[in-house]
Structure 1
Amino acid sequence: MGIYKRKGSRYYWMSYTLDGIQQRVSTKTTSKALAVKISKRREGEIALGVFRVGWAGERMRFEDLCEEYRESHVSSLSNSSKDAFKSHEKHLVRFFGGRMLSEIDTPMIERYKNDRRHQRTKHNPDRTVKGATVNRELETLQCMMKMAVQRKYIGGNPASGIEHFPELRERPPKKRIAPEEFVRILEKSPPHLRVGILLLEQTGNRTYSELFSLTWSQIDLDAGLIRFDVPLKTKASGEPEPLSRLALDVLRWWKAQMNGISDFVFPSPRDPTKPIRSVKTAWRNTLKRAGIPHFPIYHLRHNFCTRVGRVASDAVVTKAMRHSSAETKRHYQLGMVEEVREAMNPAN
């Protein structure tokens, strides 16, 4: 393997042998020092078996990879995950669309990351896209490129070394809801949201992928169980969920109120054949009427975990939350300041 100057070209060229055949390729640089580095890198790639002539990625567009990934991976995901991929794909194709996979490298992905972070949001032009949103898109891109490597379309994953944006500063602090606040929220909420809030507080369900997409056929009121028969976030999420007496009473009352108008527990007000898509506006207005600073409705899941954790073992909490690991509880359980204080007092 060596470098040389070719007549009529301003670039340095390199020659090497691959599978017994001599190859001559331009390094695309006029710097001899850089050409030497490129040549040595190619030599290493050949030695490690990660370089081939004629990668499929040289002829495959990014949109084609999206289609393959959608068919082989996304089709088996939950509806919320499918919606998330659809959103990620839209923004990724807008930037990488029309490019061959072999053209997409780490610097290009870094440009996407920074450009996307500075884009204005659709609904609030005064704000830019959150780092957490960009991180989810980068994770999707990384998974897609990983599949491309596994299928021998490209030699390496250009997205694997991309550093993500820090998210902790963007996230609202987890709120511990006082009993009197919870009562005020219930008093000021519309009927469908009031039922949803009570069930979220009693089950710890994920807001949209689990609770607000439920059908009556998934609820066994006699056995006191929710049977999830659709793809969810994790394998453990699909296990049957026991319902408390209060949750059962609420569901029986709500079923009588609905009077069979829909198969969904929370049907869309516009089309009862579909589940309600969002309760964000109703939730925001409810908190405003209750005089409580805004916090995400998802925090009800954190409060459920904390409440059950006071009286049950880690194994029971893990089962109640339908987590795959007991370690996940640490993320959901809120700071137990009063509990720690009560435990310390006897020591004095």
Structure 2
Amino acid sequence: MNLSQAFRIVRNHSLELCEKLIIEDFSLQASEEVSPPKWHLAHTTWFFEQFILVPKDTGYVVKHPQFNFLFNSYYNSLGARTARNQRGLMSRPSVEEVKIYRSYVDEAMLKLLESDNGAIADLVTLGLNHEQQHQELLITDLKYSLWFNPLNPKVMDIKEYSPELESSWITIDSGVYEIGFKGDGFCYDNELNPHKVYINDFSISSALVTNGEYLEFMKAGGYENPTYWHDEGWAWAREQQIKAPLYWEEIEGEWFYYTLDGQQEVDRSASLAHVNFYEASAYAAWKRCRLPTEFEWEVAQSRFSWGKRWEWTNSAYLPYPGFTVAPGAIGEYNGKFMVNQMVLRGASVATSSGHSRPSYRNFFHPKYRWQFMGIRLAKSK
């Protein structure tokens, strides 16, 4: 598959994700942390325009100069932008105008790709991976916003919950292991450079924690016992009055959760989702286990199945040895977030096809749980 074909496939998939939405859905934004579908469609287009077409195509004409303000995300070097918590307030441009904007940029991009000698290939590949990130965010952000609707809307079925495999312990011997992206193909700068780490003997579960297993933690008073929790996590749970994973609701003694395919009874055999780092750590402590480090996860990942859930690790999001921030606005992509974040490894049911690899480092603040975040246990020998 050449780059033009890949471009068409990725760009079309963003629109395919919205096929069952009604116009009113496109502007939903239930909190500052999530963005409306319309904004995701426009922002990913803005990325190609601002990072490739404007600097690389001398004949390109920016059709909507004000879109730079509306659809910039966090690139301070590219100027002022809409406040993150106000993205859902922008009723203009319309959904149709955003789709026209996408077509306008796509046409220019495909012409540039036809005439280019490969000079923009790396930037286009980055743009496609950036869009795939936003495809997952579009799904998870939409789920969060629709959750507030008592009608429990059905907009897509991505098989959010499926039975987890039987669990066993995998033993990993101590030693020096190489961590980080190696080989050809795309990776983000935070996956570089490959480096060696020493790891002690440890064991890691072959399966993710299930809903049923987590229910036992809840029934045992896990949310009421501070001895399992980090102090910050305990304060969060008390302040927010948290008693269960996100989207869970107890109705007449039975637990249900909201999915993008409507409300469903909790499947006890399925992989747990939508818990944050605080909850994951508390559950691990209750089980007299711990979360794996991101290095342990990467060393062990070939020996278990992964990809249903982003898996919390006990590693802070920090630069690898030799990490340098790229020049210009591209340098704002990963490096500036290397503080107060925890690493998650793997992928999820919402991750776009071809957008996962063993060295991928996802990262979020410990309090967030609207992504498909789950738990895999580890223990020291």
Which is higher, the Rg of structure 1 or of structure 2?
1
User: TM-score, normalising length from structure 1?
Assistant: 0.28
Whose helix proportion is higher, 1 or 2?
1
Whose strand proportion is higher, 1 or 2?
2
- Identify which of structures 1 and 2 has the higher relative contact order when contacts are C-alpha pairs closer than 8 Å and 6+ apart: 2
